[in-house]
Amino acid sequence: MNKGTRKNNNRLTHNDAASELRQILSSFEKLHARRVESLAEVVRPEAGAAAIQRKVTTQRKTHLPNCIVVTRLTVL
């Protein structure tokens, strides 16, 4: 196997692994958002009906190129 072919195979393998990691990260973020929503449902009665809600959106970069995670939260 020549050097060019090896680099191409490594690049393809890296791209496949990065794609799988993006999917896992997306699933994890969705699960995390559901857990936060569940927690908000439990805490909301304690905070009272008069609590002001505001939505917060945060973005953070990951170690993967071209992958930014957006998290949306509701603050009571």
- Residue 5, sorted as left (phi over 0), alpha (psi -120 to 50) or beta, turns out to be alpha
Instruction: Give residue 30's pLDDT.
Output: 86
Q: Tell me the pTM.
A: 0.51
Cβ contacts of residue 51 below 8 Å, gap of 6+?
Answer: 44, 76
Dihedral sign for Cα 8, 9, 13, 14, please: negative
Average pLDDT, rounded, for the chain: 76
The confidence band for 40, taking pLDDT boundaries of 50, 70 and 90, is confident
